Structure 1
Amino acid sequence: MSELQHGLIYGAFFAYVAAVFLYLCHFRWRLSWLWRSAFAMVLLGFALQTLCLALRWIIAGYLPITNLFNTQLFFSWCLAATYLYVELRYRIHGAGLFVMFCCLLLFASVLTRDPAIPVLIPALDTPLFTLHVTTSFAGYAFFTMAFSMGVLYLVQRWVGSSLLPELKLLRKINEEAVFLGFCLFTLCLIFGGIWAYVAWGYYFSWNIKGVWSSLVWLFYGGMCHAKFVRRWQGTGYAILSIAGFALVLFTYIGIGVLLSSNHPLT
């Protein structure tokens, strides 16, 4: 990895660290300039990370999301973009602490991995692969946002804080994040099916990654309906968001670590 890429990655990392620290200070002293400064650090980190991803794309000749380092780097970028969308749309302010802490943990895990860009195998050399993976991680990012809002909903319900959004807003953001994540993940499965047919002659195979991805889709599809069922609204929906995120983590990381799969990205 070049010195420029190295500088961009660490610059983004420390910008996110500064954002989390400033959000913590905002919780302590409740000064508006603190959360504004935190948001500015998020913007800075996102800009640096975007430049790094663009540079690696140019160098590789394709979007490098083919190993754990690259997918985690892209996942954290998607999560930061999702947070910026929610902040600009709903002005959640202090709630950004938890979301950006999740992003920071994901980004920190990148720093210990091999940053090399692998050679693209022929089966992955298609725009369908890029569409499949980008929509997958964009969906994961919204599911992570739903998880964050679910946790904050439970905290706000049990503890209560003037620094957190009202329960009604947290519930709205949670439901919207689940819906958008489900739509993006649906596109991911569609692109993946077409890609599999072009590359191997079938739309779906019973490999472990494909099966668990289908379970993720079914779970969040069920959540899109659960929001209309009274007993699952509010607290129940928040708990489902947390359980769904555990399913996402297992599908993304757990299968590659604990199980064997013939999926190209495990």
Structure 2
Amino acid sequence: LYWSSLLIYTSYWIVGFMGRGIRFYVLLGGIVLHTASITFRGIAIEYFPLTNKFESFTGFALACFSVLLFYSRIESYVYRIATFSVGYIFFVVASVCFSSYLMKVSYAPPLMLTIWYVLHVPISFYCYALWTSAFAAAMARYFSGGEDKRRFEYIIDAGFQYGFIAFSISMIFGGLWGYVAWGSYFLWDAKLLWSVIIWFFYATCIHLDYWPASRKYKTPLAIVGFVILLTTYVGTSFLIKSSHSF
């Protein structure tokens, strides 16, 4: 199922330039197979399958593809390529670099065995996917005009707002998980510090509408936010020592 979904996603590089109907159903097929592979993996390990690098990257990829499917009506090659590329790159990196995790069943460590972890991580991924969508819309906006610009501004706003709401909820669950796992709601840890940084960053972004002169900065800030997102999600696991390294 996993390799079949990868094959379907790969075909999207061609199908994505075709009509809305065919690209919608091809992407939907990949998501269904991808979700099924994650589900069966969860059954195999008898827990929610987000416990290592492979599962984390494929989970984030699934979130990106799901958001792209939701916005399938958007007729913009730039938007589709940007959103899809992020998910596809993480999917391929997981397949190539962490394939050893795919071939073996590993059970979750004790600190993950709580409902707060199960709620915290998936919500975070969909929050990241919404901010990735805002980044893609910002890229597309630079190559469009008129009505299209306003459409992409709407997607940027939606990514900012709903991503911020989701991340706020995720941080609450994360604090409860931290208390169960480490005995504290907050630690001076790289992952947590960057999570606070990105929370304040997007909190600022959604308040730009209250200062009309600053609205023009929303598009470039959506791109800057994506860089902060990658630092928070990947950088703190591979470049900085963190207790949250996955």
User: What TM-score do the two structures reach when normalised by structure 2?
Assistant: 0.91
Equivalent residue in structure 2 for 1:220, among 179, 202, 227: 202
Task: In structure 1, give the amino acid aligned to 2:132.
Answer: T
- The question of 1:120 aligning with 2:101 is answered no
> 1:154-181: per-residue Cα shift (whole Å, max 9, x none)?
1225xx8xxxx71111100110111111
Cα RMSD (Å): 1.7
* Segment of structure 1 superposing worse, 139-148 or 99-108: 99-108
Contact 1:22–1:38, Cα closer than 8 Å, also in 2: yes
Deviates more, 1:101-110 or 1:132-141: 101-110
Which residue is equivalent to 1:197? 179
1:59-138 matches, cutoff 5 A: 59-87=44-72, 91-94=73-76, 95-112=79-96, 113=98, 114=100, 115=102, 116-138=104-126
1:20 aligned to 6, 9, 13, which one? 13
Q: Which amino acid aligns with 2:191?
A: K
CA distance in 2, matches of 1:229, 1:216: 21
Matched, 1:169 2:151: yes
Which residue of the other structure, out of 192, 209, 227, is the alignment partner of 2:191?
209
Gaps of 5+ in 1: 1-7, 27-33
2:2 aligned to 9, 28, 32, which one?
Answer: 9
Q: Confirm or deny: 8 A CA contact 2:161 2:206 kept in the other structure.
A: yes
Q: How many residues align?
A: 240
TM-score, normalized by length of structure 1?
0.85
Overall identity of the aligned pairs, in %: 28
Q: CA deviation at 1:102?
A: 2.4
Choose 77-86 or 135-144, whichever is displaced more: 77-86
Runs of 4+ in 1 over 3 A off after TM superposition: none
Q: Which residue of 2 aligns with 1:250?
A: 231
Query: How big is each residue's C-alpha offset from its partner over 1:216-247, in whole Å with a ceiling of 9 and x where there is no partner?
Result: 1111111111133323324x211101100100
CA distance in 1, matches of 2:52, 2:125: 13
1 CA distance for matches of 2:52 and 2:191? 15
| Separation in structure 2 between the aligned mates of residue 125 and residue 178 of structure 1, nearest angstrom | 31
